Amino acid sequence: MGDALDRLVEGRRLSPVQRRIARYLDDNLAEAIFLSSVELADRAGVSQPSVTRFAMVLGFAGYPELRQALRPFVVGDRSSSRANDLQTAIDVEIENLRKVRDGLADPSTVAELGARLAGCEPLPVLGLRVSSGLATTFAYFARRIHPDVRLLAHGGSELADGLHAARRAGAGWLVAVILPRYPAEAVQALRSARELGLRTAVITDRPDVPFEADVILDAPVGERLVFDSHAAPLALAMVLVEAMADAAPLRTQARLEEYERMIDQAGVFVDRPHAPAGQPASLRSERTDQARESAPSTRKTPKATGTVLSDRSPANRERPASTE
């Protein structure tokens, strides 16, 4: 055991459960000092009261006091190490993104799921509490390429109504974003969806989650900051939108062109101020389109074994210039 815990546990008799907590802290101290007692209990495979008793055995009033005492062993002088701490948090996110990238070496799972979701009308999207932000982002972009995406971001009877309405309207799938801490209501909504006959696809942080789904797409969350960061799950969600677009290229093209006409007419966005002086934004856009058309295309529509839509073709799709 390292110096961080040697001084605290020296001369104390620990139960097997308490030794398990001590081992986890020793192996994962840099992460553990940012965890709540509930999160530490989950990581160590013990109960939350066991974590509290462990802290008290070591002479602390509770786990928060133990955590505070352990932090200097990891971070030292916060005034001198703060920049490195923040950089380390970003490094963790970069590694999380790398894991997502490695998992896409075989894109068949995402491609097949994208094809099935593209053919599902309506397409309900669930996200509660902290997961509602990512669910909203996914639904926002999915609506650009899919005719009927229904966001379910509120619990209670409204959530139940939304699931029933989507099923009655012909939905066959539910996309759910369930990130830690997993809302009990979201997990129950998954069960209800399956009872209604919906298949479920879940974007979450790990494959061994405490709920069932037909398809699990996992991307780790960053845990080095006060609150979790979700760069990797966001990237995975956007990959899934891409797979949906690839599954229906003609529909995607038509919907994006229609959307571009609408936002141009309504003046929804302000152009970025990077055009050369005196050059109209429309000319800049025209030149961008010309460059895109003249560039050779190497992109291929991924093959999938799921639902095949009538407008799907093997031809490479072309999309209008848009970041929205």
If you average pLDDT over residues 34-45, what whole number do you get?
Answer: 88
pLDDT at 324 (0 to 100): 56
pLDDT at 114 (0 to 100): 97
Write down the architecture of domain 3-75 according to CATH.
Orthogonal Bundle (1.10)
Residue 16: pLDDT above 70?
A: yes
User: Who wins on pLDDT, 165 or 300?
Assistant: 165
197 Rama sector, left if φ>0, alpha if ψ -120 to 50, beta otherwise? left
Helix (H) or strand (E) holding 293: helix 281-294
pLDDT at 67 (0 to 100): 85
- Euclidean distance between the first and the last CA atom of the chain, given in angstroms as a whole number: 52
pLDDT at 294 (0 to 100): 43
Q: Which amino acid is at 56?
A: M
User: Mind listing the pLDDT tens digit for each residue in 255-284?
Assistant: 999 999 999 999 999 887 765 555 544 444
Residue 202: pLDDT above 70?
A: yes
Fold of 97-246: Rossmann fold (3.40.50)
pLDDT at 76 (0 to 100): 54
If you average pLDDT over residues 24-47, what whole number do you get?
Answer: 87
Q: Which of 219, 218, 215, 184 is nearest to 198 (CA)?
A: 215
If you average pLDDT over residues 109-138, what whole number do you get?
Answer: 97
| Residue 35 CB coordination number (10 Å) | 20
Q: Which of 234, 207, 206 is nearest to 220 (CA)?
A: 206
Residue 299: pLDDT above 50?
A: no
Residue 317: pLDDT above 90?
A: no
Residue 287 Cα distances to 281, 294, 317, angstroms: 10, 11, 20
pLDDT at 314 (0 to 100): 36
| pLDDT band at residue 132 under the 50/70/90 scheme | very high
> Lowest-confidence range among 146-150, 169-173, 199-203, 206-210?
206-210
Q: Which of 234, 248, 252 is nearest to 144 (CA)?
A: 252
pTM over 0.75: no
pLDDT at 75 (0 to 100): 59
Domain ranges of the chain: 3-75, 97-246
If you average pLDDT over residues 209-224, what whole number do you get?
Answer: 93
Q: In 165-200, which positions are buried (b, 16+ CB within 10 angstroms) versus exposed (e)?
A: ebbeeebbbbbbbbbbebbeebbebbebbeeeebbb
User: Mind listing the pLDDT tens digit for each residue in 232-246?
Assistant: 999 999 999 999 999
> What is the rounded average pLDDT for all residues in the chain?
83
Q: Which amino acid is at 272?
A: R
| pLDDT band at residue 148 under the 50/70/90 scheme | very high
| pLDDT band at residue 98 under the 50/70/90 scheme | very high
pLDDT at 123 (0 to 100): 98
